[in-house]
Amino acid sequence: MTDYKKIMKRCIALAKKAGGKTSPNPLVGCVVLDKNGVVISEGYHHKYGDAHAERDALLKLKNGEEKEGTLVVNLEPCSHYGKTPPCADLIVERGLKTVVIGCGDNNPKVNGKGIQKLKQAGIDVICGILEDECRELNEVFFTDIEEKRPFVAIKTATTIDGKISTCIGDSKWITSEKSRKYGKKLRLYYDAILTSSNTVVSDNPVMKHKINIILDKDFKTDINSEIYKNEKVILVIGEKTEIKAELPNNISVIKCGLKNNKIDLRVLLKEIYKLGIKSVFVEAGGELCGSFIKENLADKIYHFIAPKILNDNSGKSCFNGDEIEKISQSKIYRLVSVKKLGDDILITYKKG
CB 66 within 8 A of CB 40: yes
Same domain, 137 and 24: yes
Q: Global pTM?
A: 0.90
pLDDT tens string 39-86: 999 999 999 999 999 999 999 998 889 999 999 999 999 886 666 778
Distances 320 to 163, 258, 287, 289, 294 between C-alpha atoms, Å: 11, 18, 5, 7, 9
Same domain, 259 and 158: yes
Q: Find out whether the peptide bond into 77 is cis, omega within 30 degrees of 0.
A: no
Average pLDDT, the chain: 93
Q: Of the residues 144, 170, 200, which one is the last residue of a structural domain?
A: 144
pLDDT range class, residue 234, cuts 50, 70, 90: very high
User: Whole domain around residue 227: which residue ranges?
Assistant: 149-351
Q: Of the residues 76, 111, 144, which one is the last residue of a structural domain?
A: 144
For residues 229-252, average pLDDT: 94
Number of domains in the chain: 2
The answer to whether 65 is a known catalytic residue is: no
User: Among 55, 48, 47, which Cα is nearest to 30's?
Assistant: 55
Same domain, 128 and 163: no
Considering the candidates 42, 54, 76, 283, report the single residue annotated as catalytic: 54
Residue 106: what pLDDT? Answer: 86
Count the neighbouring beta carbons within 10 Å of the beta carbon of residue 35.
Answer: 16
C-alpha 229: how far from chain center: 24
CB 309 within 8 A of CB 159: yes
Q: What is the CATH number of the domain that holds 266?
A: 3.40.430.10
Q: For residues 143 and 105, give the distance between their C-alpha atoms in angstroms, rounded to a whole number.
A: 12
Residue 83: what pLDDT? Answer: 65
pLDDT tens string 317-329: 899 877 888 999 8
